Amino acid sequence: MTPSSTTTTLPTADHVPLRGGPVLRWGVLAPGRIAGAFARALHAHTDQRIVAVASRSPERGAAFAAEHGIATVLTDYESLVARQDVDVVYVAAPHTHHRELALLAIAAGKPVLVEKPVGISAAEAREVADAARAAGVYVLEAMWTRFQPKTIAIHRLVADGALGTVREVEAAFGFAFAPDPANRLFDPALGGGALLDLGVYPISFALALLGAPTGVDVRGRLAFTGVDAHAVIIGEHAGGALSRLSTSLDAEPDNRAVVLGEAARIEVDPSFHASGAFELVTPTERLRWEDPSGLTGSDPLAFQAVAAAADIAEGRLESALHPMSAAIAVLEVIDLGRERLGAVALG
């Protein structure tokens, strides 16, 4: 297959508008670091507003509310999901609490955005998806990368045939952390390990482009606490495509991603999961795509929030870009990786 005539034309930035769409009132469960980043992005770049926060620590809840201008502070999660002035719930707790808090919101009839991963296993993610479907309630995993203009542009190039048939996706994401039993990443009780916390990004990136793997090979090593410290995953996909993915808590990869096609390739700048640029490389040219939004750091969290608001306002029960089946497929790979490496049980 040869590239289409649009090969040398890069897509314009495309995403749900950050302002001017439906405005929802958000409630936050479990304010921590990621919840703070989400609140800052929401209030700085969208019309969405957080109206309530619930924390089992009154001091933490009050400090979060003061920092982000939130009127209502609660000390139990049940009260927040029951409030009539909360339209949608954001779950920002540690991994091991994602399932229970998502189910709590769903039982109250509240649409819910759940931090990634939705659970610590594919079984937990299926339970959340099934509960939401049965209740007719919207649920979305907060895979912010999928909603960024950069990722949408990459998918458009692939769909338009600019790369020809995609043969391989490579992606790596990790950092070298000092071995510390107090660090959540090394704690089995808090869902620690490289795959759930960091590996979810390259796996999700590859599966969104190639689909779930038909075969998986895993190599790696464990941390001193028994959680997975390093994993390399080779996936086989439909049509003979391959994925080569790695994640680590004890080494520093380049955190780049590459999509290899028979006619061209896409090289995504590090860190590939965040905002930034990529290059389309053909045999005759190298074209650079830059994100015109100007959002950097954690500010692109805003894109997933407005996408969720638009879905909810239009009556959808899940996202077309990142349905729950995609979140489940990623966790199936993570389950397999942890099993093959002999990682300890979590939770």
Q: How many residues does the chain have?
A: 347
> Which band of pLDDT confidence, cut at 50, 70 and 90, is reported for residue 13?
confident
Question: How does the average pLDDT of the chain come out, rounded?
Answer: 96
pLDDT at 4 over 50: no
CA atoms of 312 and 302, how far apart (whole Å): 16
pLDDT at 320 over 90: yes
Query: Is residue 176 a contact partner of residue 278, using CB atoms and an 8 Å limit?
Result: no
Q: Domain-by-domain residue ranges, the chain?
A: 146-295+322-341
Mean pLDDT of 195-221: 98
Helix (H) or strand (E) holding 99, with range, is helix 98-107
- Residue that the structure tokens 């609660």 belong to: 74
Mean pLDDT of 245-261: 97
What integer pLDDT is reported at residue 46 of this predicted model? 98
| Tens digit of each residue's pLDDT (9 = 90 or more) over 321-336 | 999 999 999 999 999 9
CA atoms of 344 and 347, how far apart (whole Å): 10
Query: Is residue 255 a contact partner of residue 263, using CB atoms and an 8 Å limit?
Result: no
Mean pLDDT of 273-282: 96
Range of weakest confidence among 14-18, 29-33, 166-170, 296-300: 14-18
Mean pLDDT of 41-57: 97
Which CATH superfamily groups domain 146-295+322-341?
Dihydrodipicolinate Reductase; domain 2 (3.30.360.10)
Instruction: Please tell me whether residue 3 adopts helix, strand or coil conformation.
Output: coil
User: What percent of the chain has pLDDT above 90?
Assistant: 95
What integer pLDDT is reported at residue 84 of this predicted model? 97
Distance of CA 201 to the CA centre of its chain: 7
What integer pLDDT is reported at residue 234 of this predicted model? 98
CA distance readout (Å), 235 to 27, 145, 193, 338: 38, 21, 20, 15
Distance of CA 207 to the CA centre of its chain: 12
Q: Which of 56, 60, 30, 123 is nearest to 347 (CA)?
A: 123
What integer pLDDT is reported at residue 15 of this predicted model? 86
What integer pLDDT is reported at residue 1 of this predicted model? 39
Q: Is the peptide bond before 58 cis (omega within 30 degrees of 0)?
A: no
pLDDT at 6 over 70: no
What integer pLDDT is reported at residue 8 of this predicted model? 61
CA atoms of 83 and 68, how far apart (whole Å): 19
What integer pLDDT is reported at residue 36 of this predicted model? 98
The angle at the Cα of 144, spanning 44 to 117, to the nearest 5 degrees, equals 130
pLDDT at 136 over 50: yes
Distance of CA 192 to the CA centre of its chain: 17
pLDDT at 224 over 80: yes
CA distance readout (Å), 343 to 119, 325, 340: 17, 25, 8
Q: Global pTM? A: 0.95
CA atoms of 245 and 203, how far apart (whole Å): 7
